[in-house]
Amino acid sequence: MVAVIDYNPMELMICLAARYLEDGSSVVVGTGAPCAAAMLSQKTHAPNLVIMFEAGGIGPLLPTMPISVGDSRTFHKGIMASSMLEIMDACQRGMVDYCFLGGAQIDKYGNINSTLIGDFHKPKVRFPGSGGANDLASLCWRTLVITPHDPRRFVEKVDFITSPGYLWGKGAREAVGLAPGTGPYKIITNLCVMGFDEETKRLRVETIHPGVSKEQIVAATGFELLWAPDLTVSEAPTELELEILRKEVDPHKYIIGRQAS
């Protein structure tokens, strides 16, 4: 009899995200779930993952979860204590493989809005804005997103493009001067993992989480999704991943205790 491993949606999202970070690669993260994913990756299959923080920490061995990108723990046993200037310079020079972003709205081309909802001059809601998000989405090779899945977030057209995805489709990033080969890579939600169709650059469902139906994903998305021809079920977290996540990465459940929907 196979033992059933118990986990929640947030733990699944973090474990799935962590697996995309290869050993020896580099990633710019903020706090929260992206930081947890990077820590988990570093403590499992990618000990040589170079974690970078916008405030300047490069290559730390994070002892516990930092509460901000300027937390002293983001420099702990790091290879360099730099500044935002060096981090953005590394991105501009094409030296950063991954970044994690989030936002209030995401459209079918992976464009992200973290600026406002409604009319630009008279918005219904105003958010903090870009910070370094536009720079990271424009300059890093691959953008990863961890986000809840609901129709208010996944919209046909974002109200404002804070961070560029594939803009209006294939070739659009290159047309506006962004480097070929850069752009959004995977969007990991509490329902599925989505990538991007190579021909259209539209969001495409690649794996569906255990116990989730296609109908649930469709109902939670404000536009027509594409579906991978080899659609599979997302691989559940392993006992080892959950043990490290719960005991070493986030023992106080600051992140994994949150609702993912």
Residues belonging to the active site? 54
Nearest to 223 by CA among 105, 64, 137, 123: 105
DSSP conformation letters of 174-213: HHTTPPTT-EEEEEE-SSEEEEE-TTT--EEEEEE-TT--
Let me know if 180 is exposed, middle or buried by CB neighbors in 10 A (0-12, 13-18, 19+). exposed
Let me know if 72 is exposed, middle or buried by CB neighbors in 10 A (0-12, 13-18, 19+). exposed
Q: Output DSSP code: residue 236.
A: P
Q: How many CA within 13 A on the CB side of residue 169?
A: 2
CA dist 86 and 54 (Å) reads 9
For residue 13, give the amino acid letter: M
- Give the pair of three-digit tokens for residue 61: 């061995």
Residue with tokens 């706090």: 31
